[in-house]
Amino acid sequence: MRILVVEDEQRLAARIAEGLRDQGMAVDVSHDGTDALDKADLNAYDVVVLDRDLPGTPGDEVCQRLSVRNNAPMILMLTALSGTDDRVDGLTLGADDYLGKPFSFAELTLRVRALGRRRRSHPAQLVRGELTMDTLRRTVHRSGRPIALTAKEFTVLQVLLTADGAVLSHEQLLERAWDEHTDPFTNTVRVTVNRLRRKLGLPDLVETLVGAGYRIAP
């Protein structure tokens, strides 16, 4: 999933981003509302974690403007304004979920994942032949054998599985599984796919189509 964290407290924003990246998500960060809207013009985000009290364009206006876009991201308001009336206001503005500060990071992660599944209509379980991925329990099995994957390997495999056999280019994988700070000329996609292929075992489940990209073998 591609996530945008919009939070003006830079240390908190960095902690949230680092924690979500540790869970295999691609995370960009904005510290004001105007920059957040600019980034949303450039990138297709699955979920926006949005503070309401922002410099530049206010968080409420960011929420309203993002929520009416075509292919709009899911919006999780994360704010100190956590009274019942505040929640009602936030959801009325177009937010899909609302979490008050202080918050549990485990709960934040679960809510972000749930919103991502709602947006892309991901099933809880992805199956391709003898391979099974449980996106809730974060487990992968092949022919009943558990396969231990890193968070990034899990994300790449999930992106490939949800593509349902379609070929994804290097650039598409980079956009969906990494963040804006990743060098577009890096070999990290190839390295990660090769590690994933080795862990999944033979016969190969991840195909490389020279000059085109990658897909899960039909």
pLDDT in tens, 3-57: 999 999 999 999 999 999 998 899 999 999 999 999 999 888 999 999 999 999 9
pLDDT score of 122 more than 60: no
The rounded percent of the chain whose pLDDT value lies above 70 is: 96
What count of residues does the chain have?
218
What CATH number has the domain spanning 125-216? 1.10.10.10
pTM above 0.85, yes or no: no
Give the Cα separation of 114 and 121 in Å (integer): 10
Strands 145-146 and 139-142: antiparallel
Taking alpha carbons only, the member of 18, 76, 69, 23 closest to residue 44 is: 69
Taking alpha carbons only, the member of 81, 7, 88 closest to residue 48 is: 7
Give the residue extent of every domain in the chain. 2-120, 125-216
- Same topology, domains 2-120 and 125-216? Answer is no
Let me know the angle formed at the C-alpha of 15 by 12 and 21, rounded to the nearest 5 degrees: 140
Long-range contacts of 88-97 (CB under 8 A, 24+ apart): 89/60, 90/52, 90/60, 90/63, 93/60, 93/63, 93/64, 93/67, 94/63, 94/64, 94/66, 94/67, 94/68, 95/50, 95/63, 95/67
Let me know the angle formed at the C-alpha of 86 by 29 and 122, rounded to the nearest 5 degrees: 55
Class of CATH domain 2-120? alpha beta
Write out pLDDT tens, residues 179-195: 777 776 778 889 999 99
